[in-house]
Every structure is written in C-alpha cells, then in structure tokens.
Amino acid sequence: MIAFILRRLLTLIPLLLGITLLVFLLMSLAPGDFLTPVRAQRDVPAELIQAIQTEFGLDQPWYVQYYKWLGNVLQGNLGHSWAFKVPVADLIGQRIWATFLLSLCAFVFSWAIAIPLGVLAAVYKDSIFDRVSAVLAYAALSIPEFFLALGLVFFAAQTGWFPLGGATSIDYDYLSFGGKMLDRAHHLVLPTLALGIGSIASIMRIMRANFLDSMRAGFVATARAKGLRERVVMFKHVLRNAINPLVSAFGFAFSSLLSGALMVEIVLQYPGLGQLMYQSILREDQFVVLASVMLGCSMLVLGNLLADILLAWSDPRIRLERKK
Amino acid sequence: MQPIPVDAEVVDFSVGEFGANIIETIEGDVATVNPLVNESVGGSLVIGRILDSLVTMDPKTGEVIPNLAKSWEISEDNLQYTFHLRKGVHWSDGEPFTAEDVVFTWQTFFAKQSDPETGEVMTGEDGRPLYRYNSRSTFGQQINGQEPQVEMLDDFTVRFTTPEVYAPFLLFGGGVDILPKHILYDAYEDGTLMDQWSLQTAIDEPWKIVGLNMFVLETYRPGERMVFARNPNYWKVNTQGERLPYVDRVISKIVPDGNSSNVAFAQGQTDFESIGPDNVAWVRRGEERFDYTVLDMGPSSSTNFIWFNLNPGKNAEGEPFVAPYKFDWFSDKRFRQAISYGINREGIIRGVFFNRADILNGYVSPKRKFWYNDEVRKYPYQVERSRALFQEMGFEYRGQELFDAEGRRVEFTLITNSNNGLRVEMATVFKENMAAIGVDVELQFLDFNTIVTKISDAFDYEACMLGLGGGAPDPYAGKDILMSGGRMHFWYPQQQSPATEWEARIDELMREVGRHTEVEVRKEYFNEVQAILAEQQPFIFLVSAKEYAGYRNRWRNVEPTPLGGVTWNLESLWSEVSE
C-alpha cells in the first residue's frame, strides 16, 4: 500500500514539471507582461520600468526565467506576486479557505441531495417520480455553470433576497459569532447552488444506475431468500454495494475542490482562489498562475489517489498491491 | 487622541453631525498600500486616504495651496523652496509629525546601493548610481537626471534645493506623500522597505499603516472590501473647533469593473459614484427610487485620438516598420490634415456618445481651462477641403476611391483595444467617415497588452486609436508624450534626436515650460506647443467625453467641482445618522 502511494506521488513530479513548463511557454508567447499596462501610464518613468524589468529578470528568455523560478520553488519559495507584491504563498493563503468552504458546501449539498434521490429513483423505477427526476437531472446537466450563475445573479438583483457578490456583509466585523456564521451562510447560498446543481444531477444518475445493478445481483436474491426484510436488503446490502463506484467519483470531486469553482466565483464575485487565478491570468501575474496550476494539478493526483485508497478500503475485492 | 494642533486648518463649511458611514466601490483589487510600490489608480486612491502631502491643488482653481505645509517661500533665483510645516500635527498613532518625516521620505527615494565591503556607491552599466528602493519618485522626482536636495532647518522647516529652475517642483515635489519615519525607519535600514505595508500587513496588522490624512485602514478583506476608520488625530477642524472628518468609516467594496460599480450605485447600495457617459442614462432612472442625484460634471480630462506610425526605423529582419510609400503619405502633414478634416466629430458625439462629449481640437481637454488654448487650428468636418488636400499631394479620385500619384489605393489598418466599447464604436464611425473621402480603413480590435507591445516595442502597425485619461495638473507632466525623446511620444517614441523641425521646436518649448516659474510665461510657451500640434496633427484628436458623478441625497456639504469631483471635501461631508 505504501509503495503504491509513493509511486503515485512520484508521478506527480514529471507531471508538475511538464505543466509548469507549458504555462511558462504559453505566458511567454502571450503579448506583453505584467509591466505592459504600467508602460502605458504617462507618469511612470522609463528608468523605473527598466529597473523593475531587471529586478524580475523579464529581459531574459523564458527558459532562463523558468530555470530561476524552478530553483526558487525547490527551495520552497513560490515567488512574489508581481501585481500584489506579496509572496505567492501568502496570496493563496488569503483566498484558499473561501474557496475550500464554498466547494465543501457545494459538495455536501449535492451529495446529500443526490444520493437519497438516486436511491428513491431506483427503488421506484419507472414511477412518475423517477421520470420527473430524470427530466430535471438532464435539464440541470445541460445548463452550463456560468449560465446558472448569471441566472442567480439576476434572481438576486431582482428579489434582493441574497447578496450580490462577496463572502461577508459590510457589517460582518461587528456581528456576534452566530451572526457571523449566518452571514457567511447567507453569502454562500447562491454560489453553492450554482456549483452544486450540476453535480446533483450527475451523481443522482450514477447512484440510480448502480442501485439498479446491485438490485439485480445474486446476493440480493440470497438476502431476500433468507427472509430479510425489504428495508434491510435495500439499505444494508444494496446500498453498500451501490456506493462503491461513487467512491471514485468522490476522488474527482476532491480534485476539483479548489479549481472547480473558477467560473462560479468570477460570475458571482466570490472572493476565492478561482477569482484570484482569473485576475492573475489577465494581469500576467505569472508566479500566481503557476502556483495555482500546480495546486490544481496536485489536487487532481491526490484526489485520484484518495479515491483508490477509499475504494480498496470499501471493496475488499480490490487489492492494490497485487499488480506487480 | 492628541490635542487639536495649534496650526489646525479650519474648514469653512456648515457644521454637521458626526457618525455616518460612507459606502463606495473600488474598481479592481488594490495591490498594495505602500506608496513606494504602488502603480495603480485604485492603490493611489486608497493611499491618498491615509497619507498626506505638504501642498495640494485647489479643486476649484487648480492653484497650489497649503496642506501640511502652512506656507512656503521660493528664493529669488527660483532654486530654493522653504516649507513651513503646521505645528502640533500628529500621526494617526499619536507620534508628532516633524520635518524629519519629510526628510526621511525623500531619503528613501534617493538611497543608493553601496558595496558592502568598500562602502562605495554602486553604479549601473550607464554609470548612474543604483538605487536601493526603485520607486516612481526615485526617477520621477529627478530633474534632468539630477536629484533635488532636502535639508531640515528646524523641526518645522524644510528646505529643498533644485539643481536647476524647475517650475513643477512646487506641485510635484510638494505633492509627495509623507512617510512616518518612526514606523518605517528600521525597514529602511534593513532593506525591507518595499515589503512594508503590503496587503498582508493590511490583513494582519492594519494599525501599522500610519498616516496624516483623515482615515486609517481598519480592515482589509481580499477581493471584498477595505474599511477605513477616521484618524483620531486629523489636523482639520470645523468652524466650531471640532475635529474632522464627520464620518466614522468609509467602506470601500471591491468590484471587478466600472459597470458593476455603476450597478451598485444605481441600486442604492453606495453613496458616491463616478459614472461614464455610456452608463449615465440608465443610472439616472433610479434617482427618485433610491434618492440620489446624478450631476453633469462637464468635460472630463480624458482625450481620444488617432495617430499614424511615423517611426522610420526597421525591425530585426531589416524590414521597415511601415511600408515606405505609406510612410511618405503619413509623414506629409497635408495627409494628416486631410484625414482630420474628413472626421465627423459631431457625428461621433451624437452617434457614439449621445451628445455626452465635446469636440477635442487640441492636446489639452477643455476641462483644464487654465492651460487650454482655444486659438489653435481647428478641423471642422469638411469633406471638400479634405479631398482638395489629397489632390494637392498629387492623389487622385477614381470614382469614389482615392489613389496616390503612383496609382496605389489609399488604405491603412487602424488598431484599437477591443475592451473599450466606446472606442470600438468610434473606430467604426471613423472607418465610415474615411470611406466618404475615398480612404479604405481596415479595423483591428486587439487586446490592450498587444496594442501596447505594438506601439511601444514592435512598432508593427500603421495607425492606432487610443486615449489618455486622468489628465495631469501641470503641462510638464506630458513631457514623455510631447518631447521627441519621450517614452510615450506615440508616433515615434525615444528618438535620439528630433526627427522633424517641429518636434525639435516642441522639445525646446517644453524645456522652457519646465524652466520658468512665472505662470504667464509658461502658458505662452505651452500655447505654442498646442498650436504646433494642431497644425501638424501628429495626434488627430477626436472628442473628450463628459464626466458624471452621483451622490445619495442624504449627504450634506456636497459642493462638486470639475477638478475635485464630489468627494474632494470628504472631511466636511456629513449625513444625518439614521437608526
């Protein structure tokens, strides 16, 4: 098991190297750099621009810059944000919790709704409930996240029931602890809906299919033959087996915890990592983009790893070490 | 709280009620609170709330008026400026403000890197000293490459000596934000000055950011908002001797762009707002419902113009930047004048701006009334005159199309940035106008970085449309645009020596504008600069958009001025506190 985990983690190294090299190359191909908007300001002296350029090594070819950056990263220094003039790690630290909280809410929200709905749809297969939920699920799946987010912005603007953007109200700092929690929750409602609705539909469909498959399995007939009650058969035997494939879905959900919210954060002006990353790309704030990409990539690998481990734990038929 | 300063400024507005909060927006996240590092407009706004300067500009007349310096003398040879500081002023943390802070601030600009072993000042490849802290002021405050000297005469007197007569010094040098020596000296010594007052400081230890202006930073939430609280030691009082400002807090919400900002105001969420000409109509619709007022502030300081690439150089492959025959057209002033006569500026104003703009004849926007020269050559929409000028150059019309003497079709590509909707529309009108005089224009809408790279580095373009915003209070600030060696001499930047006689003449005139202190003399020189530009048309000016500002009606003492906007007297604004 440990060897397996180590092997997985080792594959992360070439992956990260390749991805960061690609980002570096692409950003060097894009016209201008983070100083370009500054160059268009009339009151910034040419000498200052020259000095900053030398300081950040912008006058050197991209591979030299990459080499230097890599050297810094290996020493644990992710570099400075060009735009914000603070260490990249600090900048990401400022935002990561907001995104994490949002993704977690969306995750809990979608799974908590999707699993029971999927089970019910399977148990009452071909009923009105099953059909309606299928139609709704396909509808939800076909609406792009950003479009849903735009719709929610419109809804909030029309009704005034929910705040437009932000993660806290302006009086947040003067609220009681409970008030702060409620305020945060209030701000999370729309982004959670925008992010969660799409996955409700997909997870519900997966759950329903799995559940149906398991219901037809031989052990279900055995259980019924033993005279177990229908409820015990369904929830103890079928559910336990039907949930396995969802465990790998969980791994993917984990990997997108930080990166999945990008679109929703931009449209709903939620101050998280996605918003930061988007702005950094626009500003060509290279080191922030690189750090975000690396973070996203690492989460993907770790998410898959987590899924494999969980799967091994929940399904004794899978033995990780057997492949040799 | 420190006692009210002996030299407190008494502000002559009606006495109001203390305690209201202002809610407003900032466009885009602020990058830093350190004035030495800041390069953004949003950052300047925020820093300007916290830090203050020796002198400032009168928002009504544009004159230089006392601020932290209560008075000053300029020596007879116009080289020495002696500032007398207000006594009894304290920093927001309670420490006294003295001339030492002023000297320290300037010391940071010109601190040199020295060799750790020999202690000698290190120099760069060009033989000029290397600076420890490269800030905008390090180079911006130099006068022809030389540093002004600053000395402290006593606790409340500072003397600056400029290396040569330099008229804008009073405003540019006196307008520098003063830094607190007692807070930043250690960082200055150990080399971490540029890392001070970052956003991380703003999040973790906002109280470290100490200032002399009316607010201090209370909290910062990344991507969400900045909250400013009143500076308990501010040095202005009302006529009853009560310490200003009236408001307790300013809450600045961070929004992605001007449109979201306008939306927030139009829904009654914010108190003050500047509104673009393209948004004003729908913002006005909410005036009654949300109880606010939208004011026409007159012409803005923004300018929009077109220019041709007049750079005769070649690229790395030895190809000329502009095809030689086109270069011949563009560099003939009659060609540029003919284009200028062929532009229907009235049409642009009506069609693109719905009458919310003014015709722009010259380099200076009509907003800067004082420096504006109305006596320059103008280019009304006269198609016949345009055609006549082309024919004078030997061009001929075949049907509706224009050809040059060698029979080549007159056509060029105009680039402009795609994210500015008004500019894209202006370019479209321009194309139609040009078709009417037989010129074929191809439009290319590019992203801003691409444009800047093309016009300042690659030079592979024919014509470009851009604008300048902000507007400098002193004409000498435009030296990088107007002087031939300037980095932003758009049509042919960074010339070794002036390419044309008229550019040489502008260089000469601009040097005089910097060298004289008598306003009337400077104005005469600058008028000639404007006249040459109008005659030569290196910039073909289009229009200057109008400005609009909105404020919620609950605010009192609101006295907007074109130069200062609505919130120039923020310390005197008050509102009845509801609850």
- Nearest Cα neighbor of B174 from B81, B90, B101, B60 is B81
What pLDDT, on the 0 to 100 scale, is given for residue B187? 96
| Cβ–Cβ under 8 Å, residues A83 and B31 | yes
**A36–B195 CB contact, under 8 Å:** no
pLDDT band at A321 (very low <50, low <70, confident <90, very high): low
Rounded Cα distance between A85 and B254, Å, is: 18
**Which tokens in the block code for residue B470?**
């902000």
Q: pLDDT tier at B563 (50, 70, 90 boundaries)?
A: confident
Give Cα A222 distance to the centre of its chain: 41
DSSP A6-37: HHHHHHHHHHHHHHHHHHHHHHHHSSS-TTHH
Q: Does B223 touch chain A (CB under 8 A)?
A: yes
- Residues A52, B134: C-beta atoms closer than 8 Å: yes
Percent of chain B at pLDDT > 70 equals 99
In this prediction, residue A318 has a pLDDT band, given cuts at 50, 70 and 90, of low
Cβ atoms of residues B462 and B496 within 8 Å = no
With 70 as the cut, is the pLDDT of residue A323 above it? no
Contact present, B395 and B403 (Cβ < 8 Å): yes
Indicate the SS3 state at residue B304: strand
CA dihedral A194, A196, A201, A202 (to 10 degrees): 120
Q: Are B495 and B489 a contacting pair, CB within 8 Å?
A: yes
CA distance linking residue A197 with residue B491, whole number of Å: 54
Per-chain mean pLDDT for chain B: 93
Region B366-389: what's the mean pLDDT? 92
Among B502, B348, B518, which residue's Cα sits nearest to residue B434?
Answer: B348
**Is some CB atom of chain B closer than 8 A to the CB atom of A187?**
no
Which residues on chain B are in Cβ contact (under 8 Å) with A174?
none
Structure tokens at A244: 């396995």
- Determine whether the interchain pair A85/B478 forms a contact, defined as Cβ–Cβ distance below 8 Å: no
Q: Please tell me the predicted confidence (pLDDT) of residue B431.
A: 97
CA distance B267 to chain A (A): 9
Which residues on A lie below 8 Å from B133 (Cβ)?
none
Q: How many CB atoms lie within 10 A of CB B83?
A: 25
Residues of B with CB below 8 A from A280's CB?
none
Task: Count Cβ atoms below 10 Å from residue B217 Cβ, excluding itself.
Answer: 25
3-state secondary structure of A144: coil
pLDDT of A320 strictly over 60: no
How far away is chain B from the Cα of A33, in angstroms, using its nearest Cα?
A: 8
Q: How far apart are CA A267 and CA A92, in angstroms?
A: 20
Q: Is the distance from CB of B470 to CB of B422 less than 8 angstroms?
A: no
Measuring CA to CA, how many Å separate B353 from each of A228, B340, B429? 78, 19, 12
**Start-to-end CA span in chain A (Å):** 12
Distance separating alpha carbons of residues B470 and A247, to the nearest angstrom: 57
Contacts B23 to A, Cβ<8 Å: 170
Mean pLDDT for B417-433 is 93
**From B135, B219, B487, residue closest to A46, measured CB to CB:** B487
pLDDT, average across residues B403-428: 94
Cα B247 from Cα B215, distance rounded (Å): 10
Above 80 in pLDDT, residue A319?
Answer: no
Contact between chains at B480 and A46 (C-beta distance less than 8 A): yes
Query: What distance in Å separates residue A280's CA from the closest CA in chain B?
Result: 11
What 8-state DSSP symbol labels residue B255?
A: E
Residue A324's pLDDT is 43
Neighbours of B115 (CB within 10 A): 9
Q: Please count the residues of chain B.
A: 579
Does the CB of A32 have a partner CB in chain B at under 8 Å?
yes
Are the CB atoms for A198 and A140 separated by under 8 Å?
Answer: yes
Cβ contact B225:A170 at 8 Å: yes
- Which candidate in A35, A48, A162, A281 is best for mutational testing of the B interface (most B CBs within 10 A)? A48
Of A313, B64, B136, A52, which is closest to residue B72 (Cα–Cα)? B64
Q: Highest-confidence range of A109-118, B56-65, B430-439, by mean pLDDT?
A: B430-439
Partner-chain contact B260 A55, CB within 8 Å: no
Tokens of A117: 């709905």
Residues of B in contact with A101 (CB under 8 A): none
Q: Is the confidence at residue A230, as pLDDT, over 90?
A: no
Distance CA B211, CA B191 (A): 21
Pairing of strands B411-417, B440-446: parallel
pLDDT digits (tens, 9 = 90+) for B222-235: 889 999 999 999 99
Interface test with B, best of A27, A34, A38, A41 (most B CBs within 10 A): A41
Look-up of token digits 């009923």: A127
pLDDT tens profile B343-355: 999 999 999 999 9
Of A83, A86, A167, the CB nearest to B200: A86
**Contact across the interface for A271 and B253, Cβ inside 8 Å:** no
Q: What is the mean pLDDT of residues B528-557?
A: 95
How many angstroms away from the CA of A300 is the closest CA of chain B? 26
pLDDT of residue B26 exceeding 60: yes
Q: Tell me the two tokens of residue A107.
A: 């995750």
Residue B432 phi/psi, 5° resolution?
-65, -45
Do strands B396-398 and B401-403 pair parallel, antiparallel, or not at all (unpaired)? antiparallel
Q: What Rg do the C-alpha atoms of chain A give, in angstroms?
A: 24
Residues in chain A: 324
* Joined tokens for residue A92: 């990401």
B134 interface with A at CB cutoff 8 Å:
yes
- Kindly list the residues from chain B whose CB atom is less than 8 angstroms away from the CB atom of residue A47: 134, 138-139
pTM of the model: 0.88
Chain B partners of A164 at a C-beta cutoff of 8 Å?
A: 264
CA angle B357, B359, B363 (to 5 degrees): 110
- The answer to whether B262 and B25 are in contact (CB under 8 A) is no
**Contacts with B81 (C-beta within 8 Å, 6 or more apart), sequence order:** B72, B73, B74, B75, B159, B160, B162, B169, B170, B173, B174
Please indicate if any CB of chain A lies within 8 Å of the CB of B448.
yes
Provide the Cα torsion A260, A266, A271, A275; round to 10°.
70
Convert A281-319 to b/e letters by CB count within 10 Å (16 or more is b).
Answer: bebbbbbbbbbbbbbbbbbbbbbbbbbbbbbbeeeeeee
CB-based contact B39 A44, cutoff 8 Å? yes
Which of chain A's residues have a Cβ under 8 Å away from the Cβ of B226? Answer: none
C-alpha to C-alpha distance for A122 and A205, rounded to whole angstroms: 9
User: How much is the average pLDDT of B270-296?
Assistant: 93
Average pLDDT, chain A: 85
Dump pLDDT digits (tens) for B154-211: 999 999 999 999 989 999 999 999 999 999 999 999 999 999 999 899 999 999 999 9
Q: What is the mean pLDDT of residues B124-130?
A: 82
Contacts of B87 (CB under 8 A, 6+ apart): B5, B6, B7, B156
How confident is the model over A256-303, as pLDDT tens digits? 776 678 888 888 889 988 888 888 888 888 899 999 888 888 888 888
State the pLDDT at residue B578: 66
To the nearest whole percent, how much of chain A has pLDDT over 70? 96
Contact A268, A190 (CB under 8 A): yes
Q: A123 or B104: which carries more pLDDT confidence?
A: B104
Touching check for B468 and chain A: CB below 8 Å?
yes
Strand bridging mode B249-255 / B463-468:
unpaired
| DSSP reduced 3-state for B230 | strand
* pLDDT class of B90 with cuts at 50, 70, 90: very high
Identify the residue whose tokens are 């009316």.
B214
- Bond into A37 cis (ω within 30): no
Residue A55: pLDDT above 90?
no
* B219, B267, B481 member nearest A173 (Cβ): B219
DSSP A30-87: SSS-TTHHHHT-TTS-HHHHHHHHHHTTTTS-HHHHHHHHHHHHHTT---B-TTT-SB
CB nearest B224 (choices: A90, A168, A276): A168
Q: CB–CB of B37 and A86 under 8 A? A: no
Residue-level pLDDT at B579: 53
- B113: contact with A, CB 8 A cutoff: no
Cβ contact, residue pair A271, B223, below 8 Å: yes
Vertex A154 angle, CA A152 and A160, to 5°: 90
Are the C-beta atoms of residues B475 and B513 closer than 8 Å to each other?
Answer: yes
Residue from A33, A77, A85 to probe the interface with B (highest B Cβ count within 10 Å):
A85
Q: Which whole number is the average pLDDT over A16-21?
A: 90
Which candidate from B134, B254, B487 shows the least CB-CB separation from A51? B134
Six-digit token pair at A169? 């109200």
Gap between the Cα atoms of A78 and B112, Å rounded: 29
pLDDT digits (tens, 9 = 90+) for A104-162: 899 899 889 998 998 889 888 888 989 998 898 888 888 888 888 899 988 888 888 88
For A45, the closest of B139, B195, B251 (CB atoms) is B139
| CA A122/CA A132 separation, integer angstroms | 13
Cβ burial of A193 (10 Å; 0-12, 13-18, 19+) is: buried
Of B267, B447, B468, the CB nearest to A42: B468
- Using an 8 Å Cβ cutoff, are A277 and A98 in contact? no
Planar angle of CA B470, B40, B122, nearest 5 degrees: 115
Name the residue with tokens 């502009």: B322
